[in-house]
Chain A
Amino acid sequence: MSYYDIDAILTDAEKIPCTFQLDVPDLGYLDNNPTHALKTGTKIALPLWLAEMLAIANTGGGDEDGGKSFINFDLPAALSNDVVQALKADPRAVPLRDQSAHFYGLATRMMDLSDERELGDVLRKSFVTRASEIALHARKGAGGSGHHKGDDKGAGSNLGVGASGEEFLRGLDEWERRLFRKAHDGTKAGKEWMEGVKRH
């Protein structure tokens, strides 16, 4: 992840729900209440870059409890139990982009912050399953006047991408889009070469 990676920057801007662990004076405007201090226990959605800092840093005060962190954070709605259960049931049926355009990026950042072993397993499974579906669509999309005898969908033409395929492709998050582009470029280059053999 480089400094100039636009996807990393956008992932940083994703909001996650946080709960403040202490009173903060003059920050009330975050809670639409500019005249008062921010109370302990207020729930606010903060961008990931800020929440990360506040969660890691601790107040330093109070030797007996070792200093507590400014906020506690929960998993964002994109990674909520509903979504994870849906992914477990059928990874292909979930439009990840509706949850977050940087779904996997957000998920990896959250897993860095807290230990979510089960989430990691589910995500790996869905990423891999969706990847082979992506490759199928990439190959079909690049097919043109194709030879589709071997295609396991038996669609026979590009029409196989049709309604459900488009739906699926619209639901890809940024990682998967990049994967789709790579698979598509490979297939396209292969096709171009295949057509150019005669001319050499």
Chain B
Amino acid sequence: MALPLPPGLTHSEVAFLAEMEMVTVVPRQRLDSIELLSGKTPPLRPPRREQLPLWLALLLKKQRRANIVPPPWLHPTSLQDIIHKETKEDPAAFSPPPPPASSYRADVGRPGMVRRNDNGLDMASPPFRNSCTADALPGYLPYHWLEVAEALLAHAGDDMGAPAGEVRSLLRDLVEVRAAKMRSSTSALEGFGGGLMSLRGVGAMELAETRGFVLGVVDGVRRIGAAAEANRREEEEEGGFRNDREEEESDDDMGI
């Protein structure tokens, strides 16, 4: 009996991982630092903004102990900007992910999570990139954009700078635009040899949704091309073999 789950993460797993993203909160009550497995949370003093993991921020929000500051890319103007980019400026590619931060603020909440390479570039991967805090850049969708946006809209709709309905409908548009793009991107596999699909800038939730389909298409193309590929390899090997034999023969000649 096969494992009933398809390969890759399911939607709820992706959403669970997205709860590790840091968001900015404005506390309403004092709260001492909590020792979590991932490190200590900063102590909360009311007017001061602090960064907390999304799950904790949502918990505090539900208990009315904090307000969540939405990330700048979730603002309607930023979303419109991204939609414009996706549809008008570059209708073939997905909008690029946020650029790596060159100066990384020391993360008190999660020590040891800052990783740099020799160029001083931030090498951290999505849940540790602070791409959903109030410091994030507008106009770039981070890896967990859909999950974080949906969670914030569902539980902290009143903290949005703009009417939640507007943000929601813009998000829907964006989802549709990108889904259509994902469908048509398979046509890049048409040409022989140059069959590459660029998935740069695609979010985790979109990957979870289209993984089965895209892998199916790639596998189908591979199977259709398998015979031609085998022939090509055989020809190459035969050519190589002949060369080897010729070399051997010439060696023999030298020996004589």
Contacts and interface: CB of A to CB of B under 8 A. Distances in A.
Contacts of A111: 224, 227-228
B111 to A, nearest CB: 29
Interface string A160-200: 00000000000000010011001101110110111011101
B150 A132 contact: no
Contact of B221 (A112, A124, A187, A196): A124
Interface string A108-120: 1001100111001
Given A104-B223, A131-B217, A120 B228 contact: yes
A200 B225 CA distance: 45
A151 interface: yes
Contacts of A138: 213
Contacts of B151: 197, 200
A55 to B, nearest CB: 15
Highest count of chain A CB atoms <10 Å: which of B173, B215, B217: B217
A136 B179 CA distance: 9
Interface residues of A, number: 45
Interface in A143-164: 147-152
A135 B224 contact: no
B213 A135 contact: yes
A123 B224 contact: yes
Interface residues of B, number: 43
Contacts of B212: 182-183, 185-186
A200 to B, nearest CB: 8
Interface string B227-246: 11011000000000000000
A124 to B, nearest CB: 5
B137 interface: no
Highest count of chain A CB atoms <10 Å: which of B151, B189, B211, B212: B212
A131 B220 contact: yes
Contact of A175 (B11, B186, B220): B220
B83 to A, nearest CB: 10
B176 to A, nearest CB: 3
A148 to B, nearest CB: 8
Contact of A120 (B176, B183, B220, B224): B224
A187 to B, nearest CB: 6
B150 A131 contact: no
B224 A104 contact: yes
B12 A193 contact: yes
A190 B211 CA distance: 12
Contacts of B183: 132, 135-136, 139
B174 to A, nearest CB: 8
Contacts of B220: 104, 127, 131, 175, 179
Given A185-B212, A186-B213, 4 more contacts: A111-B227, A128-B189, A135-B213, A147-B172
18 contacts: A108-B226, A112-B230, A120-B228, A124-B190, A127-B220, A128-B217, A129-B187, A132-B183, A132-B187, A135-B186, A150-B173, A150-B177, A150-B179, A152-B180, A179-B217, A186-B213, A193-B205, A200-B151
Question: Which 8 A-B residue pairs are closest in the complex by CB-CB distance?
Answer: A150-B176, A182-B212, A193-B11, A111-B227, A183-B213, A135-B183, A190-B209, A186-B209
